[in-house]
């Protein structure tokens, strides 16, 4: 994975969760993040998701039915800036 593709995947995952309004208590299954991406990128998406968790942009909720993630509301400013830097005008209605 190149650095630029990693940054793009990070922004795509974050933007997907922002569009779904998955902040704080509202979460989505970690496996659902892969939906909508080509199958050859699923391994990269898993590693990028792990990076986002370690950077504290994603919160993890572990349950008996699987691992779920949501956007960290305390990092909302950083998340929105990260998305806006890559998507610009396209992302404005969601941010």
Query: Exposed, middle or buried by CB within 10 Å (0-12, 13-18, 19+), for 41?
Result: middle
Position 90 scores a pLDDT of 67
pLDDT in tens, the chain (95 residues): 555 567 888 999 999 999 999 998 889 999 898 888 889 888 899 999 999 999 999 999 998 888 999 999 999 999 988 888 888 766 676 66
Say what the pLDDT of residue 3 is.
54
Supply the pLDDT for residue 18. 92
Kindly give, in sequence order, each residue whose CB lies less than 8 Å from that of residue 16, ignoring residues fewer than 6 positions away.
33, 36
Sketch out the chain's domains with CATH numbers: 3-88 (1.10.10.10)
Q: Which residues contact 37 (CB under 8 A, 6 or more apart)?
A: 12, 45
């Amino acid at each position: 994975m190149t650095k630029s593709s990693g940054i793009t995947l990070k922004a795509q995952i974050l933007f997907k969760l922002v569009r779904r309004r998955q902040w704080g208590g509202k979460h989505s299954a970690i496996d659902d993040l892969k939906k909508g991406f080509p199958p050859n990128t699923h391994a990269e998406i898993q590693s990028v998701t792990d990076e986002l968790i370690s950077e504290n942009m994603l919160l993890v909720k572990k349950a008996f039915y699987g691992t779920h993630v949501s956007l960290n509301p305390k990092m909302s400013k950083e998340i929105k800036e990260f998305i806006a830097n890559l998507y610009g005008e396209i992302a404005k209605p969601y941010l």
